[in-house]
Amino acid sequence: SQELEQSPQSLIVQEGKNLTINCTSSKTLYGLYWYKQKYGEGLIFLMMLQKGGEEKSHEKITAKLDEKKQQSSLHITASQPSHAGIYLCGADHAGGTSYGKLTFGQGTILTVHP
């Protein structure tokens, strides 16, 4: 089974709608990272969460970390076509023992229709 599960695998929404992407870890999280990728391109860093209950926002994107549940959610408010892409969560499962090594979820493909 996957160490990091993302859901849904794909999402199609109408412009202006809100949406949520979830990332659930089967191991203890020392850090949870959210990235956005356009197909065939590199990853754009969105946010990093480390502490249980932490919540961060950037423009219309908010991410939360529920450390107890080993889960993070990414919420986009009033989605726009520019939000379309692949959203990946990356987990630091090793903490200080293997600095920077990340395990990635399978990604969520977001399509926003104008």
Using the rule CB under 8 A, is 90 a contact of another protein? yes
Measured from the CB atom, is 15 or 31 closer to another protein? 31
Give the nearest distance from C-beta 35 to another protein in angstroms.
Answer: 7
Nearest to 105 by CA among 27, 50, 52, 53: 27
Give the nearest distance from C-beta 104 to another protein in angstroms.
Answer: 4
SS (H, E, C) 26-95: CCCCCEEEEEEECCCCCEEEEEEECCCCCEEEECCEEEEEECCCCEEEEEECCCCHHHCEEEEEEEECCH
Binding to another protein, residues 5-64 (CB under 8 A): 31, 33, 35, 40-45, 48, 50
Measured from the CB atom, is 71 or 107 closer to another protein? 107
Q: Do 46 and 63 form a contact (C-beta atoms < 8 A)?
A: yes
Measured from the CB atom, is 17 or 30 closer to another protein? 30
Q: What is the contact surface with another protein in residues (CB under 8 A)? A: 31, 33, 35, 40-45, 48, 50, 88, 90, 98-107
